Every structure is written in C-alpha cells, then in structure tokens.
Amino acid sequence: MKAVFSARRSLPCMLAGAVVLAGASSFEDVAQARTQQASGDKKQVWSVATCMAMIGDDPYGARDYALDWLHHGGGRDARHCHALALLEAGDEDESARELDELAHQTAPKGDVPPPALRATLEDEAAEAWLAAGVPGKAQASADFGLLVQPHDQSLQIARARSVLAQNRADLAEQELTALIAHQPGAMPEAYVLLAEAERKMGRLDLAMQHVAHALAVAPDSAAALLERGIIRERKGDATGAQQDWQKVLDLSPDSHEADMARQDLAVMAADPDSP
C-alpha cells in the first residue's frame, strides 16, 4: 500500500500571526462590525483585527467586510484580509494572486510593504498556491519572499513543501538538512517535511528519527503522527500505523491530515497484506 501525504499549514495558524500583528479583537468587536454592516452604519470603524477575526467562522462575511472597507478607502490591510478570506472560502487561485500582488506592491501603487510583511504575504501566497495545486507558483512566491528575508524559516519550509509537491524529494531533503544543521531548534514542521522527503527516497530509518524528533517537541502534531504512520506502514508495522492514523482522527478530525489518515486506513482495510 502506498500512502499519500504532504504536510501543509492550516489557515488558523496563518491567521494567528496576522491577528497578532494587527492587535487583538474581541468577539464583541466582530459582532458590532456585523451589526454596523447590516445596518449600513456610516460611522463604522474599520479594523484589520476585526476583519481577520471573522475569517475562521465566517469567511464570506469577512470577504464582504473587506470589500466594504475597500470601498470606503481601505488599503493594504483591507486587501490582505480580503485575500485570506478568499482562501478560507475556497478561492485559492484568486487569493494567491492577490497576496502575490500585495507582496510585489511598489510605491506608485501605494505603500511599499516592509520586509517582514512581504515575507508574511509570500508565505501565505505559497500556501494558497499549494492549496490550489500549483506548486511551481508556490515555489516562486517563497523564492521572492526569501529574497526579502533570506533566513525566514517559514518561507524556507514553504519552499521545501512546494519542492516536495513537485516530486523533488532530493532537493527538499538537501535544503531541509541544511536548515536543521543551522537551526537545530527549527519548528517541528521542518522535521516532518524532512522525514517525508527521506521516506520518499527510501531512507526509512532516517525518516523515523526525524519524525520522532518532531513528535518529541509536538506530541499531538497531526502532521507528524500521519507521517510516522506512513513510515511505520512502509516498515511493515501495520498495527503501529493504524494507531498513529487513528490518533490523527481523534486529535484533529476535520483536518487535511485526518482526510489523509482516513484514506490510508481505508486502503489498509481493503488490502491488509499489501506492502
């Protein structure tokens, strides 16, 4: 049995950083913004934090809020929220294009984003392109971001993910090994992706070592558990694989990783003797 897996970040993780940059927003702020929108309140006070906070449970409302804000003179912050709302609503292509455009924005079109924001925008654009199934454009977004912030770990990981999605496990393994050599305390996601690359190259023992490191740091990581299950299955440990995949379902039933775990469990159940 051949399992399919590619680690990916969830939108809530991306939004967490965006909201932190923008400042906290309470549920009361979101409720007030919706009321003002519905009533056409001309005194509405626009807030990036409020807009970002709406995306998780009401992406279409956040999209409309951002568009209304843009019609009332909103600039980069409104477009940023609009792009992330599109991503959550399932319009990955348009979201990625808007995020790329914002990152490439030059003075004649408005304020030039500072380097840290450009890096964030291109990290998000890469994630959107990956969600849209266009890894080549995801790599281009990550590469542009790395020109601005050469040592940005999130962008290095986004690039590795896009390279893996283009079936370049050798290049991903090379780049992630270099990243971890320079930053042994790299985020667990880097170790999960390195394990995936090594597994695809047949280096199962090394892959197990690196995914074990990720789980030592983040024992409830659905991505790490999913990858360890795949490695265990490849090594002939069907029971261990099933345990890991079931834990993914228990911990994160609505996630991308859970969808992959269900597929792997279904394949195993249909053909338990398949290698």
Tens of pLDDT, residue by residue over 212-265, are 999 999 999 999 999 999 999 999 999 999 999 999 999 999 999 999 999 999
- Terminal Cα distance for the chain, rounded: 5
pLDDT digits (tens, 9 = 90+) for 156-197: 999 999 999 999 999 999 999 999 999 989 999 999 999 999
pLDDT digits (tens, 9 = 90+) for 262-272: 999 999 998 86
Assess contact for 138 and 105: CB atoms under 8 A: no
Tokens 């050469």 belong to residue: 150
The yes-or-no verdict on residue 3 having pLDDT over 80 is: no
What is the pLDDT averaged over residues 62-78? Answer: 93
Measure the CA–CA gap between 127 and 142, rounded to whole angstroms.
9
User: What is the length of the chain?
Assistant: 275
pLDDT digits (tens, 9 = 90+) for 95-150: 999 999 999 987 655 567 789 999 999 999 999 999 999 999 999 999 999 999 99
**In the prediction, which pLDDT does 26 show?**
45
Tokens 């897996």 belong to residue: 5
Give 155: exposed, middle or buried? Use CB within 10 Å, 0-12, 13-18, 19+.
buried
The set of long-range contacts for 80-86, using a CB threshold of 8 Å and a minimum separation of 24, is 80/18, 80/48, 80/121, 81/48, 81/51, 81/52, 81/55, 83/124, 83/128, 84/11, 84/14, 84/15, 84/18, 84/52, 84/55, 84/124, 85/51, 85/54, 85/55, 85/59, 85/60, 86/59
pLDDT digits (tens, 9 = 90+) for 14-34: 554 554 444 444 444 444 445
